[in-house]
Structure formats: structure tokens, C-alpha cells
Amino acid sequence: MYHQIVAAPPKGAAFRSLCVSPRAFGRQMAWLRCLGYRGLSMSALMPYLKGERTGKVVGITFDDGYLNNLQHALPVLRHHGYSSTCYVVSQQLGKTNEWDCEGGVVQTPLMDASHLRQWLAGGQEVGAHTRHHVRLTQADLPSAREEISLCKAELEDLTNSPVQHFCYPYGDYLAEHVAVVQSVGFESATTTQRSRCQANEHLMQLPRVPVLRTTSLPLLWLKLATAYEDRRRP
């Protein structure tokens, strides 16, 4: 689970830890390759999650749809022949991460429709992250349903390709939201629950492994190759 691929904002800035520098990201992808892993989008990962195929693979996801993913991550991903999924907020395209305003987070440009098409043309995938980056548990159920289903429809319209993977904003959801995500036809949904995916994982509540600004290469190895992250599961 990545967010921004950009040089870190000044010390003390909110969510600074979610900014992985382009150089660090490049080293991390090269490191994955050295270790024999292939980096995959959620669609490409599905056969492994379902137990239909085995292999040394990692899913690569980016939350929120930052333009810096296209600028700094895409060239690296292409270089290694990796795919990834970027979860975007359909009503914020071409704007900034305004949902973070209250937290005093530096506003960062998000991809617009033409950027998303470049992302797809580069062999990457677009996933859904609601229309307005809402906290689903604080919305009434009809609005939550709209946020989930219209995001899918709007993105499919814009990109002319299926949008089959969802990510819960803030990792915040209840059982009824899982049911909605499943009923509108998503094939997977990711959370902020920390762990590697195990066999028979619930496909609509997949855990992830966070990669932060401070994640060193040895720590990345611990996170992927050992039970380091799995132990953080409640």
C-alpha cells in the first residue's frame, strides 16, 4: 500500500510518512525484482488470491490517485514490467486531496481523466475509492451505496474499461458496505488492515502491507517475506 511517490514535505507536515521518494520507490521495485517477486495489479493478482495459481508475487496499490504516481511510479513500474492498481476518487479527478484539508495536509494534484488514460496505456490499472473520499461509516446507507456504485460507473465511463477493484477510504467500513461492494460487481476490496494476504482471505476485505517514507529495504523484506506484518492483525 503506497500513497504518494514524491520527495517528503518539510518535517512536521501531516501524513509526511505516506510520501515515498521517487528514488526510494525505484530502489524498492529493484529490490523486489532481486528477491524474485513480480509486482502485480489487483486484477493480475486475483488468480493467486483465489488459490488458482501460486508464485512469488506482490500486489502493488496506490491510494487516492496522485499525479505523482503517474510522474514517478509509472516509469519505474514499466522498467520492471510490473503492473499496479491506483484507487481514484471519481469526483476529485484533476483537483487535489481536499478531503485532507482539515488535517492541514499539503494539497497535492490528483490525476485527471487524460492522466488516467496514460496510466492505463502504461499497463497499469484504475480502481475505485468512492466519489468523494467519504468515511462510509458516517454516511447513510443510500449515500454510501451511491459513493461506491457511481464511482465505478463514472470511472468506467471515463476510461472505457472495467473497474473491478475497490478500496475503502480511511479503511473505514461496516458489514453492510462489504455487501454493497460485492453486489455492485467489484471483484476485490482492500482495507488498511495490516497483514499479508493468507489463503482463503475474504476478497472484499483484503489486508495490506503499508510502505512508508521510512521503510528501509531490509524492513521491506521483513514485511513481505516474514510474519512481521501478519502479527499486527487483531
**In the complex, which residues of this chain contact Zn ion (CB under 5 A)?**
63-64, 169
Tell me the C-alpha distance between 10 and 29, whole Å: 25
Residue 26 or residue 125: which is nearer to Zn ion going by CB? 125
Residue 182 or residue 192: which is nearer to Zn ion going by CB? 192
Residue 130 or residue 215: which is nearer to Zn ion going by CB? 130
Q: How far is the CB of 222 from Zn ion (least distance, A)?
A: 25
Q: How far is the CB of 90 from Zn ion (least distance, A)?
A: 13
Q: Is residue 96 packed enough to be buried (19+ CB in 10 Å), middle (13-18) or exposed (0-12)?
A: middle
Q: How far is the CB of 101 from Zn ion (least distance, A)?
A: 14
Residue 26 or residue 169: which is nearer to Zn ion going by CB? 169
Closest CA to 223 of 190, 21, 232: 232
Q: How far is the CB of 103 from Zn ion (least distance, A)?
A: 12
Overall size of the chain counted in residues: 234
Question: Is residue 53 within 8 Å of residue 120, measured between CB atoms?
Answer: no
Angle between helices 141-159 and 113-121 (to 10 degrees): 60
Q: Is residue 31 packed enough to be buried (19+ CB in 10 Å), middle (13-18) or exposed (0-12)?
A: middle
Q: How far is the CB of 218 from Zn ion (least distance, A)?
A: 28
Collapsing DSSP states into helix, strand and coil, what is residue 86? Answer: strand
DSSP 166: E
The CA angle 205-223-35, to the nearest 5 degrees, is 115
Residue 2 or residue 48: which is nearer to Zn ion going by CB? 2
Q: How far is the CB of 162 from Zn ion (least distance, A)?
A: 21
Residue 59 or residue 169: which is nearer to Zn ion going by CB? 169
The residue number whose beta carbon is nearest to Zn ion equals 63
